[in-house]
Structure 1
Amino acid sequence: MCGLAGMLLPAPAREQAALEEQARRMGDALVHRGPDDSGVWADASAGIALAHRRLSILDLSPLGHQPMTSVDGRYVLAYNGEVYNFAELRAELEALGHGFRGHSDTEVLLAAITQWGFEEALQRSNGMFAIALWDRAERCLWLARDRVGKKPLYYGWAGETLVFGSELKALWQHPAFDNEVDRDALTLLLRLDYIPAPHCIHERCFKLMPGRVLRLDAEAVTAGAAAHRPDQLQQPFWNARERMQQALAAPFTGNDAEAEERLDAVLRDAVALRMVADVPVGVFLSGGTDSSVVAALMQAQSSQPVHSFSIGFTGSDHDEAPLAKSLAQHLGCDHTELYVSGADALAVVPSLPAMFDEPFADASQVPTALVARLARQGVTVALSGDGGDELFFGYTRYQRAMRNWRLLGKVPAPLRRWMASHSHTQGEASRTGGLAALLAESGARGIGDVYRNRISRWRDPVAAVRGAQAAGSFYDLADPLHGAGSPADAMMLADFSTYLPDDLLCKVDRTSMAVSLEARAPLLDWRVAEFAWSLPMAMKQRDGVSKYLLKRVLGRYVPQDMVHRPKRGFGAPVSAWLKGDLRGWADELLDPARLAEEGVFNVEAVAPLWQQFKQGERKWHTHLWNVLMFQAWQAHWRNARADVTRA
């Protein structure tokens, strides 16, 4: 696991040394992602520079150093991630005549690109990655991101220079990066708690979308800097919607036992591939189905006790630590748990803006940061259970959305038209339930609209942001699957394409990399995803049991009383925090005079919610938390940019 950064100028650079030094500063901003080694490569005549920070996982020797040049000298690679099937690819490449000096997956990836070309090499790779590749022959830059979006990659403009990196803090290091807040993108933060790709909090800046590649040369950089919209140049090498449509068109036709056997086999292989490392490997264990399956399959394939880690919360009614401990004991894991207090959790809050670089308001970021810190004390790699809910119908909100969609179908057309005509007047009142909530969904064109209403925080975020227009996302589609599959399939695809990469995987990446820990997610192996999409709905939910088939697999390894446990969230008591220890902090950030001076939020939309919350009139803590996360981030960003300017 590593961090990368770089730049591509629209014309040759004047000085090689200055270009290298600028790239080095950008790379050094990512030292937490790669504390073990650093490297810079630049070609002033082409106006290209790459920087890399390395967290050594495979081949700890200098032979894994990056940026790495291909044997034939054509390609230069800076790469963040892991190609899990590198051993298989290496054997195939050796048979074709390729030789290798070390045993890193980076060297294998470069040989694969040399042999098959960039896009085919990506299609053959099973892994998580963000890649910057310079083609010296074509004088072009390739950027790529893995199928699911486990690894981040930002790009945008600093003046007329294209800058890119694993985190925004690398881009901020360029003195010409003066991009202000994209207020349209900010409306997405208020609605979703995060900003989905390709949007970014900054103007003239974007996130590469999962499964996409972007090819840029000096001419494209010049055109892109002028147009400010290069996101349409992104091309898919893997498309989740298309792959899901294909899976639904050729569904699995076996019985339960056959499906269980096949899922167990593909999961075993996915877990085994992610256990390969030259450093200690462990697992995040919450006690829920997903992490329990991963832990069970790890221990079943390990000759030594697997290191497992869980966090407990003192005084909490939703503490899963005892469940994780009992499961770890049954499996024979080497288990570590840490109980933390509210004060321990609150101590993390000031570090969130620097940790995430972009305003991010999923409050489970706090316990996730704590468990990552705990795991890093014992291992360098930790497997997680991310992906189970999106692939196996795990969220209760899916059931509520389907219920509402069915109820809307029973409303007479004239009444539904009347309801829809009044829905736009509800605003944030629709979060409080009752008639307002019903009216908000009455004009739904399809399940996508109903589901978007279910997962929205601010229902009318444009009203809260001065000068903003609503930015679009995957959740704006009335039917995310374009006519294929069921409403349940459509909602799972929407989450897989948006919530999973831009919330859950972002949260795990930033919190783990903040402590130089690599996180791997075997349930998100593309083979697992495509098999899950082929399964009939009855194998995902049956007789009120969600994740039915996944739980059958878990039942092979643990007793049934450890399989069928109520789902508990990995959240944080934000409401209690804002009423208690964080009240002064929030008062300062939400002060009406400050909001008016900064000019981003409409004071009349935000200030009343804070007053109502303090008076106990409304439970506005979710609305307020994403405003607070922006406010805290904005102060951090201003200070970070001031430091660069002073330097």
Structure 2
Amino acid sequence: MCGIAGFFDTGKRTDARRLTEIGRGMTDAMHHRGPDMGDVWGDEAAGICLGFRRLAIIDLSPAGHQPMHSADGRYVITYNGEIYNYRELAEDVAARGHTFRGSSDTEVMLELFARDGVEKTLPRLIGMFAIALWDRQERRLTLIRDRLGIKPLYFGRQGGQVFWGSELKAVRAHPDFRAEVDPLALDGFLKGNAVAAPGCIYRDMEALHPGGYAVIEANGEISRKRFWAMTDVGRQPVQDLGDRELVDRTEELVSDAVRRRMVADVPLGALLSGGVDSSTVVALMQKASDRPVKTYTIGFGAADYDEAEHAKAVAAHIGTDHTELSLSADEARDLIPNLPDWFDEPFADSSALPTFLVCRLARQSVTVALSGDGGDEVFFGYNRHRALNAMERRLGGVPGPLRRLAGCALAAPGPALWNGLAQAIPAKYRPRMAGTKAQKLARALAAESSDARYLDLITHWPEDLTGLGRATAMPDGAPDRDAAARAAWADTVGYLPNDILTKVDRASMAVSLEARVPLLDHRVVEFAWTLPTDAKIRNGVTKWPLREVLYRHVPKELVDRPKSGFAIPLGEWLSGPLRDWAETLLAEDRLKARGWIDPVPVRRAWRDHLNGRGARAEALWGVCMLEAWAERWIGRA
């Protein structure tokens, strides 16, 4: 795992010394992504500079260093990620006469590019990657991102300069880059608490689309292409498999994905929450290992938000070498000022805090950790997937006025009362954040279609805070399937890369830990999308195939419980110990001075939250994170 950055001065105005100087400044801004070594390569005649920071995982020798040159001298590569089938690919390259200088996956991939070209090579790669490939002969730069968007890559052009980097702080380090906020990206952030790709918080920049690559010619012209697309995956024919065959095939694919991600020349472990996804990954890791797998979890000591006991029970059954760390809420909250540094775009998924903490814990003894991220998107595991399908079936014939009346009745008590009533439910079955869920259900009842319900559920600020008049829309290309499938598809192309994978990448890289996500192996994703929804949500139970795989290794009672996510008691924190901090960031005068958003709806939501009448904690957190980011990267209003 590494960080890449660079620039292409198409006007060729930068001399060799400045190429190197600027390139080092860009890569030094990402030292945390690659503390083991760093280097830059430049060509003054072409105006190109490629920079690299390395976290050595495979082939720790200098033979694995980058920027790396192909054997024929034509290509130069920098690359962030891992290719998990590189050993098989190496056999092919060796059979064609190449003698390897080292044993890195970088060299294998580079020689395939040199022999077969980009278009033929990319479909053969199993892995996660962000790549900058320079063709010295054609003076052509190709930027590439993996299929699901596991690894980040930003790029853009201002005047005669093309910039790129794994993180925006690297691009900002270029002295000619102008950091101007893009209002459209800002609006999208407020709606989703994360900037939506291919948008970027800065004008003239974009996040390279998952499964895509950009080709930059010597004159600065940029063309964008795709080698893999969820649009095609979502439209695959649905196959009818028997239950045994379905579960066997799921276990076969996930086991292979896990096994491939256990290859490393450094210590390896796993992040374990005790939920279905991470428990499945850990169980299959342990099955493939001849020694106890190192697993890690953290707890906060708050009953409704602490999964440490569940993780401990799963670890004990599987037989892992388990490490658990209990933290006070104060210790977690103390990290909040660091969030704008880790996420150099506005980012407001509050689970970034526990994610960082568990990554920091793991990094004390391992350099690579597998996680269960992606299982909810692939196997339809979010509560909204199940709820949307149920509502689609049951509300089709219910008149709109009656639905809206029921919604009003649900909303009337307010979230505080619903949370209080939920305490009467046994802990095992008690829904977390009952008040928030009641408010969401109330709005969903009033919506006119399944797509509208989904968009309402994922939109934090339906109000037009920016004055741009833009409504949240379903991504183009959604498959013509049921409500759960359309929602899961939209989550995979939006929420997954924009939020979940951004969170995991930045939180892990902040402590120089490589996080691997086997459930997002593209072969697993493609297979799962050939299954009908009722094979994934069965009798109201989500992720049915994955659960059945897990039950072969872990007793059902250890993992069967209401879905909770990796959450913190955000609403309680904002009303309590973070109240003064939030009040400062949400102050009307401050928001007016910044001039980005209308403070009136924000102040109304804040008052309702403090009075227990609102369920907008995540939305308010988003505005707080926006202002905290702006103070760090733009300056005080």
Q: Could you say whether these structures have the same fold, taking a TM-score greater than 0.5 normalized by the shorter chain as the test?
A: yes
Which residue matches 2:166?
166
Indicate whether 1:576 and 2:576 are aligned: no
The one-letter amino acid of 2:189's match is L
Residue among 217, 239, 244 paired with 2:234: 244
Query: Residues 433 and 340 of structure 1: is their aligned pair in 2 closer, same or farther, counting only changes over 3 Å?
Result: closer
Query: Helix, strand or coil: the match of 2:235?
Result: helix
Q: Distance in 2 between matches of 1:536 and 1:44?
A: 55
Deviation at 1:563, TM superposition (A): 4.2
Which residue matches 1:194?
194
Residue among 437, 450, 454 paired with 1:451: 454
2:389, 2:484 within 8 Å by CA — same for their partners in 1?
Answer: yes
Query: Helix, strand or coil: the match of 2:39?
Result: strand
TM-score of the two chains, using structure 1 as the length reference: 0.90
Deviation at 1:435, TM superposition (A): 11
TM-score of the two chains, using structure 2 as the length reference: 0.91
Q: Distance in 1 between matches of 2:51 and 2:564?
A: 41
Q: Distance in 1 between matches of 2:630 and 2:217?
A: 32
2:380, 2:543 within 8 Å by CA — same for their partners in 1?
Answer: yes
2:310, 2:559 within 8 Å by CA — same for their partners in 1?
Answer: no
Counterparts of residues 160-559 of structure 1 (less than 5 Å) = 160-221=160-221, 233-246=223-236, 249=237, 251-406=238-393, 409-411=396-398, 433=439, 437=443, 441-442=447-448, 444=449, 447-460=450-463, 463-465=464-466, 467-470=467-470, 475-477=474-476, 480-481=478-479, 483=480, 485-559=481-555
The one-letter amino acid of 2:249's match is R
Deviation at 1:545, TM superposition (A): 2.0
1:382, 1:518 within 8 Å by CA — same for their partners in 2?
Answer: yes
Which residue matches 2:57?
57
1:187, 1:471 within 8 Å by CA — same for their partners in 2?
Answer: no
Deviation at 1:261, TM superposition (A): 1.5
Deviation at 1:397, TM superposition (A): 0.9
**Alpha-carbon displacement from aligned partner over 1:604-630 (angstroms, at most 9, x marks no partner):** 232232233234342332221100110
Q: Distance in 2 between matches of 1:148 and 1:112?
A: 22
1:283, 1:307 within 8 Å by CA — same for their partners in 2?
Answer: yes
Q: Distance in 1 between matches of 2:349 and 2:90?
A: 40
Q: Distance in 2 between matches of 1:457 and 1:435?
A: 14
Counterparts of residues 565-644 of structure 1 (less than 5 Å) = 565-638=561-634
Q: Which moves more between the two structures, 303-312 or 612-621? A: 612-621
Q: Which moves more between the two structures, 429-438 or 338-347? A: 429-438
Q: Distance in 1 between matches of 2:460 and 2:310?
A: 31
Q: Distance in 2 between matches of 1:623 and 1:563?
A: 30
Query: Residues 435 and 71 of structure 1: is their aligned pair in 2 closer, same or farther, counting only changes over 3 Å?
Result: closer
Q: Distance in 2 between matches of 1:49 and 1:440?
A: 54
Which residue matches 1:13?
13
Which residue matches 1:227?
none
The one-letter amino acid of 2:478's match is P
Q: Distance in 1 between matches of 2:487 and 2:368?
A: 31
Q: Distance in 2 between matches of 1:74 and 1:60?
A: 25
Which residue matches 2:409?
none
**Alpha-carbon displacement from aligned partner over 1:157-190 (angstroms, at most 9, x marks no partner):** 3443111100010011112222311112112111
2:185, 2:199 within 8 Å by CA — same for their partners in 1?
Answer: yes
Query: Residues 310 and 75 of structure 1: is their aligned pair in 2 closer, same or farther, counting only changes over 3 Å?
Result: same
Which residue matches 1:422?
none
Which residue matches 2:429?
none
2:119, 2:227 within 8 Å by CA — same for their partners in 1?
Answer: yes
Deviation at 1:359, TM superposition (A): 0.6
Q: Distance in 2 between matches of 1:561 and 1:403?
A: 25
CA-atom RMSD in angstroms: 2.4
Query: Helix, strand or coil: the match of 2:634?
Result: helix
1:42, 1:48 within 8 Å by CA — same for their partners in 2?
Answer: yes
Deviation at 1:536, TM superposition (A): 2.7
The one-letter amino acid of 2:385's match is Y
2:459, 2:472 within 8 Å by CA — same for their partners in 1?
Answer: no
Q: Which runs of 5+ in 1 are unaligned?
A: 222-229, 420-428, 641-647
Deviation at 1:326, TM superposition (A): 1.2
1:184, 1:469 within 8 Å by CA — same for their partners in 2?
Answer: no
Matched residues, percent identical?
48
1:27, 1:52 within 8 Å by CA — same for their partners in 2?
Answer: yes
Q: Which runs of 5+ in 2 are unaligned?
A: 406-414, 416-435
Query: Helix, strand or coil: the match of 1:546?
Result: coil
1:286, 1:320 within 8 Å by CA — same for their partners in 2?
Answer: yes
Query: Helix, strand or coil: the match of 2:121?
Result: helix
Q: Which moves more between the two structures, 50-59 or 596-605? A: 596-605
